[in-house]
Amino acid sequence: MVTAAVIAVITVFLVLLLKPLKGEYAMLVVLAGGMLILRYGVEQILQILQTVETLKGYMPYVSDYMGIFIKMIGISYLCEFTAGLCRDGGCQSLGGQIEIVGKLSILAISTPVLVALFETVERLLA
């Protein structure tokens, strides 16, 4: 997290320096800083995936749900990143739409888990 924070602070300082001189370059600096942070975030996600693979060995019956969980994390990270870039570019409404589509995508992906939960409750009550 320290690496991402340092990249963000350096990016903000560069943007503050460039914005009065060349505003269009400031947006490019924000994009470059965001890509560096995204790269760092992907490294973190890869570490999480390795841990999940280890957990799958202990709990093979949960492997389907782990895949869904990882997809949900990826969608939320991508949507937050994209919405932030849209807002930085002055497109607040587009950023809001990205967040809504992300939430709907997470809901669509999580429906099998919800169905399995209801089936389990039904079996317990029957």
Residue-wise pLDDT for 89-115, tens only, equals 777 888 888 889 989 999 998 888 888
Cα separation, 121 vs 45, whole angstroms = 32
pLDDT for 62: 67
Alpha carbon dihedral 45, 49, 54, 59, in 10-degree steps, equals 120
Take residue 58 and report the two structure tokens written for it.
Answer: 């202990």
Q: Which residue has the tokens 């995204």?
A: 38
pLDDT for 104: 92
pLDDT for 86: 79
Contact 66, 55 (CB under 8 A): yes
**C-alpha dist (Å) from residue 49 to 46, 55, 97, 108, 113:** 5, 10, 28, 22, 19
Q: Which residue has the tokens 């607040």?
A: 92
pTM for this entry: 0.63
The pLDDT tens digits for 27-86 are 788 888 888 888 887 888 788 778 877 877 777 666 677 778 888 888 888 888 888 877
Q: Higher confidence at residue 25 or residue 64?
A: 25
pLDDT for 43: 81
CB atoms within 10 A of CB 116: 12
Q: Is 1 helix (H, G, I), strand (E, B) or coil?
A: coil
